[in-house]
Amino acid sequence: MAITAPKGTRDILPEESYKWVYLEEEIRCLCSLYRYEEIRTPMFEKTELFVRGVGQETDIVQKEMYTFEHRDKESFSLKPEGTAAVVRAYGENKLYTLPQPVKLYYLTPCFRAERPQKGRYRQFHQFGIEVLGTKSAGIDAEVIALAARLFKQLKIENIKLYINSVGCGKCREAYYHTLKTFLATKLDVLCEDCQKRYEKNPMRVLDCKEETCQAALQEAPYMVDYLCEECEEHFAEVKENLQLMQVAYEINPRIVRGLDYYEKTAFEFVTEDIGAQGTICGGGRYDGLSELIGGPKTPGIGFGMGLERLLMLVGDKLPAKKAALQIYIASMGRQAEKKAQEMVEQLRAQGICAEKDFMQRSLKSQMKYADKLGAENVLILGDEEINAGTAEIKNMQTGEQCRVSIKTTEQFVADYKAGVKKA
């Protein structure tokens, strides 16, 4: 039986890969406009990084990591997300000695052993932003504005930005008490996962997608109503800055995010246009993460955006692939084929996109093939042409033909540029 790709992974074929390149270029341009620089971290890290960073009790760490042991028994995991590694790299490479804040972006595959479905894969790709070194609410708004600008540039309309504050260690303690008192009255109707969450991380119960849980949570107390003074002020500033930057948002007290490192700002961009997995982008502030993984005390904020989901939204709107094939060289006979092989490379050396036949096609089939490839011009070579030192070149759009020199590629290019191209 033929070997297939692992479940939850996909091949990105040429008919789609050019869209990825287009999106990645848009992203890189936008990041440089906002002065974010690229960081690349390893595909795998010590498992401990994610256990401590993302959180022992999260679904990611409990159920979804691809973990393996090295010969010396050290445990490693494929990265399930980008933030923990960037924060590790910031401390390890002493990026705190640079002028702050340090504004970084990445484009990376991530790996999560989830149940695959539309928009949910085991290997997926994230565009991520991380800003380290400032608590300023202005940067929270900038990070969110950058994502919003990308959606605008890509002409995505049906997308909503939800923001929330998930407080800090201080205010969460009092809130957890109130939340747990409320949840205790609903425990018998909550799903099995939520019963566990009730003990370890009660706020995550709010995020449960189960209908029975959602119904039971109608009257649940929300973190935003229990913020300490500092968090309250920070949240007010984030909202004010978003308004200054003209980014439309909605407050959604149920946004709690699935990773444990968040504090204060949490946000998601959600669409209803691509089915159940409608969260295109999620992020927030993580002021305690660096210390949690043994690094310097450093505030941070960022987001992760799923590129598969983004492509599902914009794929059809992207410009069509057309790296124009300028010259196809059709040849008949051994001499002519040799000449074609030589010329095609010399043309490329001069920056002209050229192609020839490699399938021993007849002249007629070569003409058809050139047409399929969308060739702008076809140069026709046979023994006669080689002897004469001139050949016909045909403009495939207008059907016009003209005679050009093929004695040297330089002469040919001069003729081509002077005549055919304009024709």
Contacting residues toward ligand HAM, per CB under 6 A = 81-83, 112, 114, 119-121, 124, 126, 128, 130, 258-259, 279-284, 302-306, 308-309
Q: How far is the CB of 126 from ligand HAM (least distance, A)?
A: 5
Q: Residue 107 and residue 28: Cα distance in Å, rounded?
A: 9
Report the residue closest to ligand HAM, judged by CB: 306
Cβ closest to ligand HAM, residue 207 vs residue 392: 207
Strand order in the sheet with 44-46: 44-46, 75-78, 67-69
Beta bridge partners of 67: 77
Closer residue to ligand HAM, CB minimum distance, 63 or 177: 63
What one-character-per-residue DSSP string does 394-410 give? Answer: EETTT--EEEEE-SSHH
When the beta carbons of 79 and 339 are compared against ligand HAM, the nearer one is 79
- The nearer residue to ligand HAM, 159 or 305, going by C-beta atoms, is 305
Min dist CB 379 to ligand HAM, Å, is 46
**Residue 27, C-beta contacts closer than 8 angstroms, at least 6 positions apart:** 105, 107, 127, 150
Burial (CB count within 10 angstroms: exposed 0-12, middle 13-18, buried 19+), residue 210: middle
**Least distance in angstroms from the C-beta of 224 to ligand HAM:** 19
Residue among 123 and 390 whose Cβ is closer to ligand HAM: 123
Whole-angstrom Cα distance, residue 329 to residue 339? Answer: 9
Judged by CB, which is closer to ligand HAM: 143, or 413? 143
3-state SS, 344-398, equals HHHHHHCCCCEEECCCCCCHHHHHHHHHHCCCCEEEEECHHHHHHCEEEEEECCC
Length of the chain: 423
Q: How far is the CB of 300 from ligand HAM (least distance, A)?
A: 8
Q: Kindly state the smallest distance separating residue 95's Cβ from ligand HAM, in Å.
A: 16
* Shortest spacing between CB 301 and ligand HAM, in angstroms: 7
DSSP symbol at 49: H
